[in-house]
Structure 1
Amino acid sequence: MNIASSLFAIFFYMLATAMLLHRLRTGNNRRLGTSALILGLFAVVAHGIAAVTAIATPEGADLGLSQLFSLLSGMICLITLTTSLRRPLHNLLLALFPLASLSIVFELLLPGKEIGEHYSAGVYSHIILSILAYSTLSIAAAQALVLAVQDRMLRQHKLRGLPNYMPPLQTMESMLFELIAMSFVLLSGAILTGSLYVDNLLAQHLVHKTVFSIMAWAFLGVLIGGRLALGWRGRTAIRWTLLAFSSLLLGYVGTKIALIVFSQTAA
Structure 2
Amino acid sequence: MILASPPLEGVLLGAGAALAYAVPALAWRALGERRARWALVVAWALHAAALGWALLGGHGGARFGFAQALSVTAWLVVTVYVVESQVLPQLRARWALAGFGSAAVLLALFFPGQKLPPTQSPLLPLHWALGIASYGLFAAATAHGWLMLRSERLLRQRAQNASGVPLLTLERLMFRLITAGFIVLSATLLAGGIFGETLYGSQHTGWRWDHKRVFTLLSWVTFAVLLLGRWRLGWRGRRAVHVLYAGAALLLLAYVGSRFVLEVLLERTA
Normalising by structure 2, report the TM-score: 0.79
What is the rounded CA distance, in whole Å, between the counterparts of 1:48 and 1:152 in structure 2? 34
Which amino acid is the alignment partner of residue 233 of structure 2?
Answer: L
The answer on 1:183 being equivalent to 2:186 is no
SS in 2 for 1:160: coil
Q: Distance in 1 between matches of 2:207 and 2:228?
A: 33
1:238 maps to what in 2?
241
Q: 1 or 2 for the larger relative contact order (CA 8 Å, sep ≥6)?
A: 2
Q: In 2, distance between residues paired with 1:4 and 1:203? A: 43
What displacement does 1:263 show?
A: 6.1
Corresponding position: 1:52 with 2:55? no
Residue of structure 2 equivalent to 1:221: 224
Q: What is the CA-CA distance between 1:137 and the residue it aligns to?
A: 0.8
SS at match of 1:57: coil
Once the two structures are TM-superposed, the CA of residue 158 in structure 1 deviates from its matched residue by 0.7
**1:48 & 1:210 partners in 2: Cα distance?**
28
Question: Map of 1:30-41 to 2, 5 A cutoff?
Answer: 33=34, 35-41=35-41
Question: Is the 8 Å Cα contact of residues 61 and 118 (structure 1) preserved in structure 2?
Answer: no
Aligned length: 255
Which deviates further from its counterpart, 190-199 or 119-128? Answer: 190-199
Shift of 1:174: 1.1
Q: Does 1:2 align with 2:10?
A: yes
Give the letter for the 1:96 counterpart. L
Pair 1:211–1:77, CA change in 2 (3 A): same
Give the alignment's Cα RMSD to 1 decimal.
3.2
> What are the residue-to-residue correspondences of 1:243-258 with 2, within 5 Å?
243-257=246-260
Shift of residue 65 of structure 1?
A: 2.7
TM-score between both structures, scaled by the size of structure 1: 0.80
Q: Distance in 2 between matches of 1:207 and 1:56?
A: 28
Paired residues of 1:187 and 1:217 also in contact (CA < 8 A): yes
Q: Are the counterparts in 1 of residues 127 and 192 from structure 2 also a CA contact under 8 Å?
A: yes
Is 1:211 equivalent to 2:210 in the alignment? Answer: no
Deviation of the 1:95 alpha carbon:
1.1
For 1:136, the equivalent position in structure 2 comes to 137
Stretch moving more, 55-64 or 69-78: 55-64
Corresponding residue for residue 172 of structure 2: 174
* Partner amino acid, structure 1, of 2:150: V
Structure 2, unpaired ranges of 5+? 1-8
Q: Is 2:147 the partner of 1:160?
A: no
Q: CA deviation at 1:60?
A: 4.1
Q: Secondary structure at the match of 2:244?
A: helix
Structure 1 stretch displaced more, 117-126 or 128-137:
117-126
Task: Name the amino acid aligned to 1:71.
Answer: V
In the other structure, the counterpart of 1:106 is 107
1:78-124 superposed Cα distances (whole Å, 9 cap, x missing partner):
22222222246842221111221222222223443x11212343111
Distance in structure 1 (CA, Å) of the matches to 2:19 and 2:94: 15
2-structure distance, mates of 1:261, 1:14: 26
* Secondary structure in 2 matching 1:167: coil
Is the deviation greater in 257-266 or in 138-147? 257-266
| Counterpart position of 1:71 | 72
Check 1:143–1:182 CA distance in 2 against 1; reply closer, same or farther (3 A cut).
same
Tell me, what secondary structure is at the counterpart of 2:86? coil
CA contact (8 A) 1:2 1:49 kept: no
Q: 1:263–1:160: structure 2 CA closer, same or farther, 3 Å change rule?
A: closer
Letter in 1 for 2:255: Y
Q: CA deviation at 1:202?
A: 8.8
Deviation at 1:234, TM superposition (A): 1.4
In 2 relative to 1, CA 48–133 (structure 1 residues): closer, same or farther, beyond 3 Å?
Answer: same
Quick one: structure 1 residues 237 and 131, their matched pair in 2 at CA, closer, same or farther if it must change by over 3 Å?
Answer: same
**Structure 1 spans left out of the alignment, 5+ residues:** none
Q: How far did residue 206 of structure 1 move? A: 7.0
CA distance in 2, matches of 1:65, 1:266: 12
**Counterparts of 1:23 and 1:141, CA distance in 2:** 27
